Chain A
């Protein structure tokens, strides 16, 4: 087996056994990037020299026994909305084109503490607003399965980098499906943990009540291991949850006997591609054969999640993005008259169209006269959606459905009609509104050869149940994902 085909956990074992050095692993990834980056454009920034230097440092610490974590020595990519000390962090926006953070996000620190090697920063939709990675100010990322198609978004660079073997694993962030949907489109595994499980300190905020950082990996084992690395309680994030059950790799067992799985009928209605539907149904059948009890039910309120989500996310975005004012960091317009004109011109020239669209909408729904009718109404609907999930989890251990209504669309097909694009988030966004954990994993390909994703949704703090079910499916299913190492 070639080095690049290994999983993150497989590579870590080889490094531990002294069969591979960290420098060799790093060089392999840099070679892959050199070969494939002109095709796919997964990264915004890669710092080769720093990577090779750090590889030596990590090797020394592994050799003297200071580092013996699950994934020590493994090269990992980080979405470009996570601050990395001394390494440019852009959010794929012109407004942060030259921003170099003076500190690292807590999730990135956790990677480093575990001895993982940050390779670079991956491309994304500008400020994580989008489903295709086409709103990046630095050019599109292409899907490694078909370069004419999008990798999904907003963590499209991370998902494509894992699929293309330009890293062994990656971090993404998920506000409305931004980890799960690109993972699905690129044939890899992605997980959005329970809200509060991974510290958001140093994650450049989009919708703070919805944002959560999570792993994008080649398989379920890597997903559990990487989640175990990044999950931690953090005083610097007031919404961080103290959990004692973050030994996620202990859930890597093949056993779903008696597990109650609910399939929301509402997830199989109009708009769902027939091939996606069939693949997801087949996946449910595999889990049933393995002893799970599968049943259909009505979740309700599914169609209301999208308007509620876009109201809340836009409101929070308009507030969070106020900080980009051309004073302390970021882009400043060349010519201006006075302070306010400078703010307005800097922001108008620095932000892209989709970001401006959401800031405008958010400012409107929070403005006096409309606050109750829109923003508060959306928060009430969020409460109803949460209640619908509570009722579902009173009956079922996990829920099963598709990740997205279709496989990856062609480049240039999505942005012209925003509402149509937002409808593509229908199966992922209610998970963020309710703070739930959910995993996306490959469950086949369509006739165009594009990967199809299976989504498993758990109750709050039930990541281990999800991992157990996903691992069982992965072991049983003949269908695999990611492009270069494994085939279906």
Chain B
């Protein structure tokens, strides 16, 4: 079964919320087509029997790496704030989040 048919307007709307993207009407149509084609293509993975195969997230069997939490960098507040699109009194300025 191809997946193209499951990419509905609602799906695109929902994925847009997850992705925090606001797509124009034209972009939404393109995304529907693109994602449908891509998922149809990805569906060929279903041909492979992966019963009992462990999902491999990392190629080496790495363990969590711990180190002491020691501050090594100096105070770079000014340099860091220079990159902020909005700044006030040494802080990041953000839109009002509570009414």
Contact = CB atoms under 8 A, between A and B. Distances in A.
B55 interface: yes
A383 B54 contact: yes
30 contacts: A102-B83, A195-B60, A196-B60, A301-B48, A304-B44, A307-B42, A318-B19, A322-B20, A327-B85, A330-B83, A330-B85, A338-B97, A339-B95, A339-B96, A339-B97, A343-B20, A344-B20, A345-B22, A347-B21, A360-B16, A363-B19, A367-B18, A374-B42, A379-B57, A380-B56, A381-B45, A383-B55, A418-B34, A418-B37, A419-B37
Interface of B: 11-12, 14-16, 18-23, 27, 31, 34-35, 37-39, 41-48, 50, 53-60, 62, 64-65, 67, 73, 76, 79-80, 82-86, 92, 94-97
B83 A100 contact: yes
Q: Which of B19, B44, B60, B97 has the most chain A CB within a 10 Å cutoff?
A: B19
A386 interface: yes
Interface in A360-401: 360-367, 374, 376-384, 386
Given A307-B41, A328-B83, A356-B21, A386 B59 contact: yes
Given A195-B60, A241-B60, A434-B59, A327 B84 contact: yes
Interface in A74-114: 98-100, 102-103
Contact of B58 (A239, A336, A357, A360): A239
Chain A facing B: main interface SS: helix
Contacts, number: 164
A460 interface: yes
Given A328-B80, A376-B55, 10 more contacts: A209-B58, A241-B60, A310-B42, A311-B42, A332-B85, A338-B97, A360-B21, A378-B45, A386-B56, A435-B60
B50 A332 contact: no
Contacts of A303: 44
Contacts of B67: 235
Q: Which of B56, B64, B96 has the most chain A CB within a 10 Å cutoff?
A: B56
Nearest to A359: B19
Contact of A380 (B55, B58, B84): B55
Given A322-B20, A329-B83, A209 B57 contact: yes
A293 interface: no
Interface in A315-338: 318, 322, 325-332, 336, 338
Interface residues of A, number: 70
A203 B37 CA distance: 31
B45 A377 contact: yes
Contacts of A301: 48
B82 A357 contact: no
Given A102-B79, A338-B95, A344-B22, A328 B54 contact: no
Nearest to B59: A435
Contact of B76 (A102, A241, A343): A102
A308 interface: yes
Nearest to B43: A307
A60 interface: no
Contacts of B44: 303-304, 307
Q: Which of B44, B57, B59, B73 has the most chain A CB within a 10 Å cutoff?
A: B59
B41 to A, nearest CB: 6
Nearest to A356: B21
A99 B58 contact: no
